[in-house]
Amino acid sequence: MRKAGFSEQEFAKLQEAQTNSDGLVKTEVIAMNAVKGLFDDGSGNFTKKGPPDLEMARTIMHDAQYHRNKGKIMQPVNEFLTLLDQRTSAAVQTATGGTMAAYSVTVGVLLVSVMVSLLCLFLVYRHIKRNLDQAIATAQLIAGGDLSIDAVIERADEIGVLLHAMNTINANLTGLIN
């Protein structure tokens, strides 16, 4: 229970219930011995013999004092359960708060990731579109008979290779015509 985080106040309530229970056990021991015909010799030992006293045993096990003593045991147990419930409720609230904070951070990171991904996709799209538009414009000029152009190659990626090939086609056609 200590490893599980039970508080000293909770242990005190359990100890109080234990102490109250020990008093009740004494009454039960007296009743069981009375049924056997054994009675307290004054020193706490049941060595005094006599006829079994079933009526005394029933009386002390069912009288108002016995039930009050049972109530005395249950009161600290109930208080212990209340303390335990309060502590666990606080722990649940703390865990819930931590979970909500983690959830919020996760959602925030996810949103930032999506936004960054969308921005990257937009930039890649814009780069590819601009280079493809340049390649298409160059191809249309060559197809239209304008062999005087030279496409500007800014990069060595796939579009750059395509523009270089168009420049080669253009140079070869110009050489062929000349």
71-118 per-position pLDDT tens digit = 888 999 999 999 999 999 999 999 999 999 999 999 999 999 999 999
pLDDT, residue 116, reads 98
Which among 32, 3, 26, 24 is positioned nearest to 76, based on CA atoms?
Answer: 24
On the CB side of 108, CA atoms within 13 Å amount to 6
Question: What six digits make up the tokens of 32?
Answer: 């069981």
pLDDT, residue 19, reads 87
For the residues 43-52, what does the mean pLDDT come to? Answer: 92
- Within 6-151, residue ranges assigned H as helices are 8-36, 54-62, 64-143
What count of residues does the chain have? 178
pLDDT, residue 73, reads 87
Of the chain, the end-to-end C-alpha distance in Å amounts to: 98
User: Nearest 5°: phi and psi at 42?
Assistant: 100, -15
For the residues 146-172, what does the mean pLDDT come to? Answer: 84
Q: What is the pLDDT of residues 118-155, one digit of tens each?
A: 999 999 999 889 888 888 888 898 888 888 888 788 77
The answer to whether 153 touches 167, Cβ cutoff 8 Å, is yes
Q: Which pTM value belongs to this model?
A: 0.49
% of the chain exceeding 70 in pLDDT: 100
The answer to whether 43 touches 65, Cβ cutoff 8 Å, is no
Q: How does the average pLDDT of the chain come out, rounded? A: 90
pLDDT, residue 34, reads 95
Residue in this structure with the two tokens 């819930």, named with its chain if needed: 96
